[in-house]
């Protein structure tokens, strides 16, 4: 498998970095691949732009920076505005559909799939698991990390006592992702 | 809402095996039988007339596993314990859940109340509830101990608030368990902020 480059973008407080961390952890620790993670924070704890650069490969990764991602995972309009120009032609945009509006800046051949992740998280009980919904959505759509691996990555990353809600969030995103991917494939 | 992780098989202190599972719409007769077996002086400490078929019918309709969650303990097809979580999805106490628990006489002092309560507290935490409250009458010592073992502490005493079957007024104790620290840890994790970052 060639290296897959991913950029996860959003706002501070949305769990952008944790989402990237879980994708990388699932690939590297539980799917026996290689992964790197680079994280960028704004100066404030909440509301500032932040992003994670994740690379996943079957081989050792020599260069961890993501200049032109194959996949964008976007949780805010600012992140879309900032990163859409970097997406490779034919790339994939996975986005929070109630927070991000796509436009004609999408590169040629790019595909996109949206999910109301914040609403799903709120319906499950807590808005702050929206990033876990997004991680599940990523796994469900792309298949880049297995369901088992991403479940283990979530369980080993989240605080004790929050596992069940996080797992429900992950499965909600995963199943929605599988449905969306199947629908668009036909 | 579908509750994951059920049924749960629990072995009590005396070796009895019970099954804890969500209440079903078809459990009405068993639930009624369970509550009718309670002595009247104990039913007086419950807030509803749980021995009436009308109450059971209303209760079964209320249990939606969103705002009202009910788990039962089953032994040989009979209900031997029941615990309920009440919460609201909107308003200023949407982070609070109230717990009630009842155990059949024959199964008391065997750890069933603790097993039911622990299961519901864990479920409530995972539903995003930050604070749980339970009310016990002053002489319900075992029930109070059960919840204290699960982290509940006394928050308020309502003097002479309940009246028993003989007309004797007793204090009502409100115990609470603040589990918000669990979610604060999750909030810190999703803050996307590192104080070391330049």
Digit-coded pLDDT (tens) for A147-172: 999 999 999 999 888 888 999 999 99
- The helix or strand, by DSSP H or E, that contains position B131, with its residue range, turns out to be strand B131-137
Q: Cα separations (Å) of A137 from A25, A113, A126, A134, A177? A: 16, 9, 17, 5, 5
HSE-up of residue A165 (Cα within 13 Å, Cβ side): 28
Q: Which residues pair with A74 in a beta bridge?
A: A9, A95
Q: Inter-chain contact A161–B128, Cβ cutoff 8 Å?
A: no
Compute the nearest-CA separation of A158 from chain B (Å): 7
Compute the nearest-CA separation of B168 from chain A (Å): 41
Task: Give the pLDDT of residue A125.
Answer: 83
**Rounded mean pLDDT of chain A?**
93
Query: Which residue is closest to B121 within chain A, CA to CA?
Result: A161
Distance CA B159, CA B181 (A): 31
- On the question of pLDDT at A20 being above 70, the answer is yes
In chain A, which residues have their Cβ closer than 8 Å to the Cβ of B122?
161, 164
Contacts of B90 by beta carbon, 8 Å cutoff, 6+ apart:
none
CA dihedral B184, B190, B191, B196 (to 10 degrees): 110
pLDDT per position as a tens digit, A43-102:
655 567 889 999 999 999 999 999 999 999 999 999 999 999 999 999 999 999 999 999
Task: Give the pLDDT of residue A105.
Answer: 95
In chain A, which residues have their Cβ closer than 8 Å to the Cβ of B123?
164
In chain B, which residues have their Cβ closer than 8 Å to the Cβ of A10?
192
Burial class (CB in 10 A: 0-12, 13-18, 19+), B67: middle
Compute the nearest-CA separation of A108 from chain B (Å): 32
Compute the nearest-CA separation of B174 from chain A (Å): 24
Q: Inter-chain contact A12–B187, Cβ cutoff 8 Å?
A: no
Pairing mode of beta strands B169-178, B153-163? antiparallel
The better pLDDT of the pair B131, A12 is held by: B131
Chain A contact probe: residue of B190, B194, B195, B197 with most A CBs at under 10 A: B190
Q: Inter-chain contact A158–B125, Cβ cutoff 8 Å?
A: no
Q: Inter-chain contact A45–B193, Cβ cutoff 8 Å?
A: yes
Check residue A98 and report its DSSP letter: T
Task: Give the pLDDT of residue B194.
Answer: 54
């Amino acid at each position: 498998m060639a290296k897959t480059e991913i950029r996860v973008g959003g706002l501070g407080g949305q769990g952008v970095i944790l989402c990237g961390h879980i994708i990388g952890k699932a690939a590297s620790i539980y799917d026996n691949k290689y992964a790197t993670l680079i994280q960028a924070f704004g100066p404030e704890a909440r509301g500032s732009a932040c992003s994670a650069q994740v690379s996943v490969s079957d081989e050792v990764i020599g260069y961890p920076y993501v200049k032109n991602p194959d996949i964008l995972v976007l949780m805010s309009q600012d992140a879309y505005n900032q990163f859409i120009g970097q997406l490779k032609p034919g790339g994939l945009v996975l986005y929070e559909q109630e927070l991000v509006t796509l436009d004609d800046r999408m590169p040629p051949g790019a595909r996109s799939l949206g999910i109301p992740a914040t609403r799903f998280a709120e319906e499950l009980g807590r808005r702050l698991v929206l990033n876990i919904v997004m991680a599940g959505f990523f796994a469900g759509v792309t298949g880049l990390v297995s369901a088992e691996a991403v479940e283990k990555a979530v369980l080993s990353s989240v605080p004790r006592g929050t596992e069940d809600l996080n797992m429900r969030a992950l499965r909600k995103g995963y199943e929605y992702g599988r449905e969306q991917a199947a629908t668009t494939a036909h | 809402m579908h509750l994951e992780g059920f049924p749960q098989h629990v072995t009590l202190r005396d070796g009895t095996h019970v099954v804890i599972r969500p209440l079903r719409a078809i459990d009405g007769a068993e639930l009624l039988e369970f509550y009718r077996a309670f002595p009247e002086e104990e039913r007086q400490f419950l807030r509803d007339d749980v021995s009436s078929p009308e109450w059971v019918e209303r209760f079964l309709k209320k249990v939606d596993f969103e705002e009202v969650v009910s788990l039962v303990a089953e032994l040989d097809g009979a209900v031997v314990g029941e615990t309920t979580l009440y919460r609201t999805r909107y308003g200023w106490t949407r982070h609070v859940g109230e717990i009630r628990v009842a155990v059949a006489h024959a199964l008391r002092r065997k750890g069933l109340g603790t097993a039911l309560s622990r299961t519901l507290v864990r479920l409530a935490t995972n539903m995003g509830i930050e604070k749980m409250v339970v009310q016990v009458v002053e002489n319900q010592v075992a029930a109070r101990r059960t919840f204290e073992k699960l982290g509940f502490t006394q928050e308020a005493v309502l003097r002479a608030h309940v009246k028993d079957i003989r007309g004797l007024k007793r204090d009502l104790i409100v115990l609470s368990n603040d589990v918000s620290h669990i979610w604060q840890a999750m909030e810190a994790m999703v803050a996307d902020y590192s104080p070391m970052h330049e």
